[in-house]
Amino acid sequence: MGDTIFGKIIRREIPADIVYEDEEVLAFKDIAPQAPIHILIIPKKEIPTANDIQEEDAPLIGKLFIVAKKLAKEFGVDESGYRLVINCNKDAGQAVYHLHLHLLGGRKFTWPPG
Ligand code: AMP
């Protein structure tokens, strides 16, 4: 497991507000929420960026979205709407180099993004 902050969360070396876990996926509340609902859904497998996703990761990546839509329903934003975001590298503002899907909801979002 890589030594990112999310690796430490997976290994329970630092705390997080975990809202979902299975063998392959972990989801927890973002520490600096940008919306009333802001959850990060991550693979336990260490994949640094979207560029590093391999063909064999397709089911795992699909699972991130399945977990995201279940959490959207659980947190009551499935009907009102939500945004799913993966930032890749510096122009997108990626800060943590462990792949993560942002689930944002509970307010309106502008499009295009700033
Ligand atoms: P990104 O810019 O896509 O790499 O997003 C990284 C996200 O991780 C940011 O929204 C941070 O607020 C969030 N974050 C960083 N450290 C933690 C942490 N210890 N627990 C929860 N979220 C975190």
Q: What is the mean pLDDT of the chain?
A: 97
- Range 16-45 average pLDDT: 98
User: Mind telling me the catalytic residues?
Assistant: 100
The reported pTM is 0.98
Model pLDDT, residue 10 = 98
For residue 32, the CA-to-ligand 1 centroid distance in Å is 7
For residue 16, the CA-to-ligand 1 centroid distance in Å is 11
Joined together, the tokens standing for residue 45 give 């497998």
Distance (Å, rounded) from C-alpha 100 to C-alpha 7? Answer: 12
For residue 38, the CA-to-ligand 1 centroid distance in Å is 10
Model pLDDT, residue 1 = 47
For residue 93, give the amino acid letter.
Answer: G
Model pLDDT, residue 26 = 98
Domains and CATH numbers, the chain: 5-105 (3.30.428.10)
Ligand 1 in contact with 16 (CB < 6 A)?
Answer: yes
Ligand 1 in contact with 95 (CB < 6 A)?
Answer: yes
